[in-house]
Every structure is written in structure tokens, then in C-alpha cells.
Chains A and B, each alone.
Chain A
Amino acid sequence: MPILKNQQREECVGKYKRMKKIPTEFWMVLPALIVLVVITVFPFIYTVQLSFKHYPYIQVQSHIRRVEWVGLDNWIRMLTDPKVGRYWIVTLKYVLGALSCEIALGIAAALLLNRIRIFQDLLTTLSLSPMFFAPVLVGLLGRYMLHDSYGVYSYFAHQLGLFENISIFGDGRTALLALIALDIWEWTPLVTIIVLAGLKSLPREPFEAVSIDGANAWQRLWYLTLPMLKPVLLVALIIRTMDILRYFVKFLITTRGGPADATKIVAIAVYDQAFQAWRMGYAATLTLSMLIVTIVLGIVFVRFFAGMGQE
């Protein structure tokens, strides 16, 4: 009897020791983990299985269509539908156009703000204003200020002789440009502030050394500042890429997919398919494709910048 008791005691102690080995940090992570799993895993699984169904989300009445497993039909449709190709091209144009300008202008603005000595704080905060605008408001303001008849920006453009007979949101060529411009307006400040903070944390020595060697401002910028900003730029790029694909409210408020799909980014297509046409299965497929693209882009950026940072 005493031997068994010892054995039992040892087992208990062993278990306790093992539990003690679970680091406190794990318990710290657990609540967030549980919450996220609950509210994201179910939607994800639901979306995945939905993408294999033809599910019109109609309760009865579906004499033609029943909820059925159609296997890869939705995926095949998505990959062969020329319209989907067009949506992705529009999305690509939008993302590239907006991101490139945001990064370029953001760096430029940050460099400028960095040089200002008086009121730098205040000016920085003021220049952050667009970032705080809700996308709904940006869409509405954009619609107001770019309105062909009474928009103040359109007025100035007409005075300069531009867009005289072109309706900004009514012409395929200009509608997407207008939305890119709205996005640039709203989010360049975010890039600016991230780059500005990065600039402030750059060490002075390399700059001093280089200027003694005779480098001018441009050379300093190109060969020293920018490479050292790479990690910071990566952060900005990732934050923006994550959001730019997801945010579609501006589009809903202004063009809803635009003249002849000129501004129909994939997110709008998902919205239409899911909440207008009620082809939930197909919408789920499109959603998953968006998710895949975002994740791939994220990985690509990290690898790309990590690789270049070796220099």
C-alpha cells in the first residue's frame, strides 16, 4: 500500500511540475487566442464550405436551385469568368496607383516635416487629419467636392480647362483616378507619420560621415536615408496593403462599381454577389481569393524587404 501511495504522489507531483512548466506567458496569450479563434475560425470554416456549395440563401422557392454541393464549380467559374479578371485588374490598378503615390508622397512629406523646426509637432498633427476621416465621410466628401456641377474641385479643374466635358465619376477613365486620389488623400498621412518616426530614430553618424565625404542631398537621400528606412517602409506597406484591399465603403458611396465596371474592385464584386444577387457560394469563393492574395502579398513584401535589407 505505501508503495502505491508513493507512486500516486509522484504522479501528482509530476503532473504539477509539468503544469508549472507551462510558462505564464502562455496563459497571457490564451484569452486573446480564444476570443480570436471563436470569432474568426467559424466564419472562415463557414466561408470555405460555402465556396463549395451552390447556396442561393433562399429559404424555399428554389425549385431550380437547391442547396447542393457543387464541388469546384464556383472555383472554376471564378477562374474562368473574364469579368473576374477585369475586377482584379481594376483592383491592381487601384492598389498600385494608390500605394505607389502614398509611399512616394509620404516619404516626401516626412522628409519635409523633419526639416521644419518650429511647430513641427503641431504641423505633423494637422497633416494627420485626413487619416482620421471615416471612409464613409471620405466617400461623401469626395462625391461633394468632385461633383461635376457644384463640386469645388471640379470648379477649379474647369477653370484650368480640365475635365470640361467629362463627368468625373461618370467616365470610366476618370472615375478610378478620382477614387485613387481620395485614397491617397486619406492615407498618405499614415505613411508620413510612420516614415517620420523612422527618420527621427535614424542615427546621425552615417549622415555626418557621408556629408564630409562630399555627398549632396540627393545622394544622401537615395543611398543612405531610403535604405535605412526600409523596415519602416515595410511596416507602412503592410498596414496599407492589408486595408486597401478590404475597404470598399468609399466605392459604395461614390460609384458602386463605376461606369462599366471601371471601379469595380473585387470587394465590391463580393458585396454585389453576396448581398444583392445572393449567390453566397460564389461570393465565398471570391472572398477566399481576396484573403489568399492579401496573405501572399504580405509574405512577398516581408521577404522582399528582408532580402534587400541585407545590403
Chain B
Amino acid sequence: MKLRKKILLLTVTVLCISFLAGAIYAMTEEEKWTQFEGKGITLNFLTEDTPAAGAILDLLPVFAKKTGIKVNVTRTNVGDLVTKLMLELGSGSSEIDIIYAARWQIPPAYSSVLVDVTRFNNDPTLPHIPMDDFFKPHLISTSYFVDKRRQIGVPHDASTLIWFYRKDIFDKYKKAFMAEKGYDWTPGPNLNWEQYKEIAQWINDNVSEVKYGAGHMAKQWNSLYCDFSNVFWAWGARGFENPNTESWGVIFPGRCLWDSPEAIEAAKFYKDLINNVAHPSCPSWDWSDLAEAFAKGDEIAMSFNWHDFVVTFEDPARSKVPGKVGVALAPKGKDGKSHNYYSGAALAINSYVPEDHQRAAWLFLVWQASIPVQKAIFKKGSTPVRKSAYQDPEVRQWIAEKRYPGAGIADVMYEAWKPENLEYVEAKMPMFVETLIIQYTELAYMLQGLKTPEQAMKDIVDQVNQATGWTDLQEKLKQ
């Protein structure tokens, strides 16, 4: 009896102590957020000028009030952003706490310098984000690099190239087109790329409201690469040997596959599209120019552009086509799937800053991914990255009413981000930008007629293999 009593007493004591300890040390949700209050922490946040950033900027006072942390936001264009970040992170500087991890350049080069947020997410003294509430393709492509156990960021935005078209024109001439060509030309993934070209040509010849059917962002720059990627994947071409290159990321991508028959076919199609069918100014347009042309109302009837541009198109002050804009997924490729180039990025934390700054930064990351802030992004004209934001009843109301431009296209975007549709992103590897420059330069030569598609692709492969070190490896193996 005595022994059992002792054990019982011991157990109860232990339970009491642990309960007390738990009560003392477990933080309430509220406390997790206010633990930095009064410590005078100021965080520096460097980001690209996106609607998501705009939404966050508007709500910053809310964050400051909730947590007592001040955040200084610097918004800049993507080129300068990358330059500054590379200089920052490469020199070990701890000026910037939170960074917009531009996906091409930052994770491949600096993933080891970005904080692994898994430990913050699992830390009981810090608020938590359910990571599976993000679209899986977004998560993998923006927040991981090579190492599947190390999550280096939290998805932040999700610009995707989507098919914009003039609803009014497509409605008006639908019968005429169907009479001549025999099919319903309403844009969507049920059409294929050849039909897209045919539609563009038909509009060139028969529609008087616009000068040309299609516009493309074929400027010798990132824009050309992004635009071409849709066609490239649609033809079934892949970039590199290593299958992880276009998802988790790799250090060594293996041989470049841009000279495969599919890739050359894609290049030929693209050249024909740009040189013979699309608006002649395409080689001077990047996405802003393309958006401007589409918004002008009399230049082009269709364009593939970042879905965030819907806010420009629906703004009567900046566009002549509000209310006339339709959105659809890209035409299906040879594999029957619709590939829409995705260009989102995550927010990451600079590991060179002190620990308390890192934890404060994590609070910011959680806050910007929280449902209220994500919903606010709709108001700024873009679309959130949390799946549950789309299911929220208030949001469903907005979508039904098409109250905000972002809400108007939410369903299409949701579709575009499903894993079966978003299988590939561009190659995630350290030397990506170098290969990017090679690729868009050679493609530009092709478009200007200075090289045939075969020659351009061959040159791409030669130079890219040189840049990735594949050529050197082959030579070493030969020895």
C-alpha cells in the first residue's frame, strides 16, 4: 500500500509540476506575437515592387501595433534587387533582415546563407504556418533548393504567365471564326498552340478593332526566356538531363537538352509566331510594354502576361479595356497539359543577422502569410498564395462578384497552380542566370534572322554546357 501510495503521490507531483511548468512556459498565441514588444527591433525588408509588397506596405502599421516591431521596406525593380542582394549576402553583410528571394538567383547561390525556417516553424515559442496550405509546386520551387529537409523561405507571391484576351472581340467574331475554321475559339487549355497561331493570324486579317492578334514579350531579356518557356515545355522539351533540375534544384544539371528534336521544333514554331504572326514590335517589348500595348486597346487582342497585370487592365485610368479582359490557361502542349510559366518567390531571412532579428523576421513572415493579409492582397489586385484563402467565404463572395481584379481571375489561377499543371519551373542551379543570358541572347539572334533555329539551339547547348561545367567534366572523363 505504501509503495503504491508513493508512486501515486510521485505521479501526481510530477503531473502537477509539469502542468505548472507548462502553464508558465507555454506561451499563448498572443504572447508569441508580442514577445518582441518594447525591444526596439527594426527590421529591413528588401523586396521587388509587387502588388503583394504593396498590400503589405499598407498593412505595416497593423504589424507594428501587433508586435512592436518596426519594418522598413525598400521596394525596387528586380534587376537592382538582385544586384543589391548578391552584394549583401555575398559580403556577409547583415543590413537586410528579410529578403525577397528572387527565385532565379538567390536560392541557388545563397541557400546556405538563408535561414532554415523549419526550426522556427516547429518552435513552440513562435507562431506557426501550416506549410501544406501553400500550393505544393510553389513551396518546392520557391522555398527549397536541392536539400529537401531545408526550407529556406515562405512563399510570398506567385506571378504566372496567363493567357489574356479581349472578351469583346472574341464574343463578337466567334461565329465568323467558327464558320471559317470550324471550331470554337474561346481561349483555354482545350486549344493547342497551332490553333493559337491560327487564331492570331485570323485576327490580323479580319478584325479591325486591333492591329494584331497576338503580342509577345520577346525583348532580348528575361522576358524572352519566360515567354519561350511556355512553348518550350508545351512541345515536350526539357532543359537538362538531371530530372531534379526543374523542381527541387540541383548543383549540377547534367547535359543541356536544348538541341533535342522537340526543342528545335518549339524554337521553329516560336520563330514563326514572332516573326510572321505577332505584332512587329514584339522584340522590343518586355512584360511592361506588352501590358501597355494590351491596355491601349487597339494594338493586340491576346497576350501572355503576368496575371498581376489584371489590375492594370481593369483600371480605367491606365487602360482602355476595363471589363473586356478575359483570362485563360495556356493552350495545351503535346502532352495534353497546359503549361503556364510560374515566377513566384519566397520571403527569406538573412542568416547573418542576429538571432533575435531572425526570430522577429519569422514573425513577419508568418504575419504576411496569415489569412487576413493574404486576403488583403486580393484588394491590391493580385492573388494570395494560401490555398485556404481561396476557400474563405468572404473571398468566395468577392470571386462571385468579381469585386477585385484579382478575385476575377482567382479560379483560373487556382487551376494553373495545381501540381498537374505546374510541373516544371526553369532550371534551379547556381549558374542559372549565366545560362539564362546565353539562352535569351541566342533566341534573340534567331528572332532577328541572324541564326536558324537549329544553329541557335546548338549554340545554346554548347555555351550552356561550357557554363555548367559539363564540357569540362566530359573532358576529364575522357582522360
List residues of chain A with CB under 8 Å of any chain B CB. 56-65, 148-150, 165-172, 175, 255-262, 272, 275-279
Interface of B is mostly: helix
The reply to whether A167 and B280 contact each other, CB–CB distance below 8 Å, is: yes
Question: Across the two chains, which residue of chain A brings its CB closest to B224?
Answer: A259
Question: Across the two chains, which residue of chain A brings its CB closest to B146?
Answer: A61
**Taking the nearest CB of chain A, how far is it from the CB of B332, in angstroms?**
29
**What mask results when residues 81 to 98 of chain B are scored 1 for a CB within 8 Å of chain A, else 0?**
011001001101000000
In chain B, positions 274-290 with a C-beta closer than 8 Å to chain A are 280-285
Q: List 19 A-B contacts (CB under 8 A).
A: A56-B431, A58-B90, A59-B113, A64-B469, A150-B296, A165-B280, A167-B281, A170-B218, A171-B283, A172-B448, A256-B221, A257-B221, A259-B447, A260-B444, A260-B445, A261-B220, A275-B82, A276-B79, A276-B437
**Taking the nearest CB of chain A, how far is it from the CB of B153, in angstroms?**
16
**Taking the nearest CB of chain B, how far is it from the CB of A165, in angstroms?**
6
Contacts of A175 in B (CB 8 A): 284
The reply to whether A256 and B220 contact each other, CB–CB distance below 8 Å, is: yes
The answer to whether B331 has its CB under 8 Å from any CB of chain A is no
CA distance A279 to B434 in the complex (A): 8
CA distance A165 to B279 in the complex (A): 10
The reply to whether B82 and A61 contact each other, CB–CB distance below 8 Å, is: no
Question: Across the two chains, which residue of chain A brings its CB closest to B448?
Answer: A260
Contacts of A272 in B (CB 8 A): 437
**Taking the nearest CB of chain B, how far is it from the CB of A53, in angstroms?**
14
The reply to whether B221 and A275 contact each other, CB–CB distance below 8 Å, is: no
Contacts of B90 in A (CB 8 A): 57-59
The reply to whether B282 and A170 contact each other, CB–CB distance below 8 Å, is: yes
Contacts of B285 in A (CB 8 A): 170
**A148-B284, A276-B82 known; A261+B437 contact, CB < 8 A:** no
**A57-B86, A260-B220 known; A277+B280 contact, CB < 8 A:** no
**Taking the nearest CB of chain B, how far is it from the CB of A78, in angstroms?**
14
Stretch at the interface among B104-112, B117-125, B407-415: B104-112
Contacts of B366 in A (CB 8 A): none
The answer to whether B219 has its CB under 8 Å from any CB of chain A is yes
**Most chain A CB inside 10 Å of its own CB: which residue of B220, B437, B444, B450:** B220
CA distance A64 to B434 in the complex (A): 14
Complex A-B, nearest 10 residue pairs according to Cβ-Cβ distance, in ascending order: A170-B284, A170-B283, A277-B434, A169-B284, A167-B281, A260-B448, A260-B445, A148-B281, A260-B444, A64-B469
CA distance A166 to B279 in the complex (A): 10
**A64-B469, A278-B109 known; A257+B220 contact, CB < 8 A:** yes
The answer to whether B325 has its CB under 8 Å from any CB of chain A is no
Contacts of A171 in B (CB 8 A): 283-284, 448
**A149-B296, A261-B220 known; A62+B82 contact, CB < 8 A:** no
Task: Known A-B contacts: A170-B218, A260-B450. Give 8 more (CB < 8 A).
Answer: A57-B90, A58-B109, A61-B110, A167-B283, A172-B448, A255-B284, A260-B441, A279-B434
Q: Which of B110, B251, B281, B444 contacts A64 (CB 8 A)?
A: B251
The answer to whether B299 has its CB under 8 Å from any CB of chain A is yes
CA distance A167 to B445 in the complex (A): 16
Contacts of A64 in B (CB 8 A): 251-252, 430-431, 468-469
**What mask results when residues 217 to 245 of chain B are scored 1 for a CB within 8 Å of chain A, else 0?**
01111000000000000000000000000
Question: Across the two chains, which residue of chain B brings its CB closest to A77?
Answer: B466
**What mask results when residues 425 to 439 of chain B are scored 1 for a CB within 8 Å of chain A, else 0?**
000001101101100
**A64-B469, A279-B434 known; A258+B220 contact, CB < 8 A:** yes
CA distance A21 to B106 in the complex (A): 58
**A259-B444, A275-B82 known; A61+B283 contact, CB < 8 A:** no
The reply to whether A61 and B445 contact each other, CB–CB distance below 8 Å, is: no
The reply to whether B110 and A170 contact each other, CB–CB distance below 8 Å, is: no
The answer to whether B293 has its CB under 8 Å from any CB of chain A is yes
**Taking the nearest CB of chain A, how far is it from the CB of B349, in angstroms?**
15
**Most chain B CB inside 10 Å of its own CB: which residue of A58, A166, A169, A262:** A58
**Taking the nearest CB of chain B, how far is it from the CB of A29, in angstroms?**
34
The reply to whether B112 and A277 contact each other, CB–CB distance below 8 Å, is: no
Q: Which of A59, A150, A168, A261 contacts B444 (CB 8 A)?
A: A261
